[in-house]
Amino acid sequence: MDNEYSESGPVTVTELCETASGKFTVGFSDGSEMKLSLDAVADLSLFKGRELSEEELASLRSLAALSKCKERALKMIGARPLSSKELFGKLVEKGETPENAEKCVAWLTGLHYLDDAQYAGMIVRHYSQKSCGIQRIKSELYRHGVPKTLWDEAIEEMPDTGDRAYELLCRKLRGTEPDRAELKKATDALFRRGFTWDEIKAAVRKYGTGEQE
């Protein structure tokens, strides 16, 4: 029986206290403690006085680490929307193991708390409303770790970017007849917002016909 435990002898549960709904603090005879979910407590049938083998204690540590990772992940996506890739990266940055981070991403995806397709649509709408062009929007989708397989469907919901380029050019030039330097400054600003040069050229041509309001 001794070979089932560490050299210091068996570890015994000395405290089992529910600190919140479904949350427990478990104390052990070696002076350590863990914060566990109800599922973890039930899985190993924990109770005060319960002796744990090395294998059971290792399993409990793994469950505790995963439970902590899940709690951290929930706080992260509660603070602001994230893509699966962003959440994974942030969890690892905080010290979670890649294995637990991956499990948390799968868990939250299964619960529909994490949805990359919806997130892609949100990014497209947000930057469209800020009068950004397709290149800027693609750049943001990439920056936020949205899989490229989801880009096209999200971008299809965008209104025509050509009109937005023209409207933005009108606001910048304010109905004036710009010189070359002023026009370059305005078109460079449109390019930084993610409009293509074809869209910018079309907006300049339209502005030059005197159609601006």
The domain that contains 45 carries what CATH number? Answer: 1.10.10.10
Q: Considering its fold, how many domains does the chain have in total? A: 3
Q: How far apart are the first and last CA of the chain?
A: 89
Secondary structure (3-state) at 114: coil
Please give the pLDDT value at position 79.
96
Are the C-beta atoms of 59 and 41 separated by less than 8 Å? no
pLDDT tens by residue, 69-78 = 999 999 999 9
36 & 100 share domain? yes
**Quick check: helix, strand or coil at residue 110?**
helix
pLDDT at position 80 is 94
Q: Residues 140, 200: one domain?
A: no
d(CA 107, CA 113): 9
Domain endpoint, select from 110, 125, 145: 110
Number of H helices, E strands in the chain: 10, 4
DSSP 150: G
Q: How confident is the model at residue 37 (pLDDT cuts 50, 70, 90)?
A: confident
Provide the domain limits for residue 122. 115-159
Give how far the C-alpha of residue 199 lies from the chain's centroid of Cα atoms, to the nearest Å. Answer: 32
Residues 155 and 67 grouped into a single domain: no
Residues 146 and 87 in one domain: no
Which residue, of 43, 78, 110, is where some domain finishes? 110
Alpha helices in 20-130 (DSSP H): 38-43, 54-79, 84-93, 98-110, 116-129
Distance CA(94)–CA(178), nearest Å, equals: 52
Residues 97 and 65: beta-carbon distance below 8 Å: yes
Q: Report whether pLDDT(15) > 80.
A: yes
Q: Indicate whether 51 and 136 sit together in one domain.
A: no
Mean pLDDT estimate for the chain: 88
CA distance 153 to 147: 12
Q: Given a cut of 50, is residue 198 above it in pLDDT?
A: yes
Residues 170 and 155 occupy one common structural domain:
no
Instruction: Based on the fold, state whether residues 27 and 87 are members of the same structural domain.
Output: yes
Asked if 106 and 10 sit in the same domain, the reply is yes
Give the model confidence (pLDDT) of 102-114 as tens digits. 999 999 999 999 9
What contacts 168, CB < 8 A, 6 or more positions away?
Answer: 131, 189, 190, 193, 195, 203
Task: Give the mean pLDDT of 80-99.
Answer: 97
Give the span between the Cα atoms of 66 and 104, in whole angstroms.
Answer: 8
What distance in Å separates the CA atoms of residue 184 and residue 177, rounded to the nearest whole number?
A: 13
> 63 pLDDT exceeds 90?
no
Residues 56, 75, single domain; the answer is: yes
Q: Residues of the chain with pLDDT > 90: what percent?
A: 54
Contact between residue 11 and residue 35 where contact means Cβ atoms under 8 Å apart: no
106 and 128 in a single domain? The answer is: no
Whether residue 144 sits in one domain with residue 171:
no
Compute the distance between CA of residue 198 and CA of residue 179 in angstroms, rounded to an integer. 21
Q: What CATH number is attached to the domain comprising 126? A: 1.10.10
Is 94 in the same domain as 194? no
Share of the chain above pLDDT 70, in %: 92
For residues 46-59, give the mean pLDDT. Answer: 89
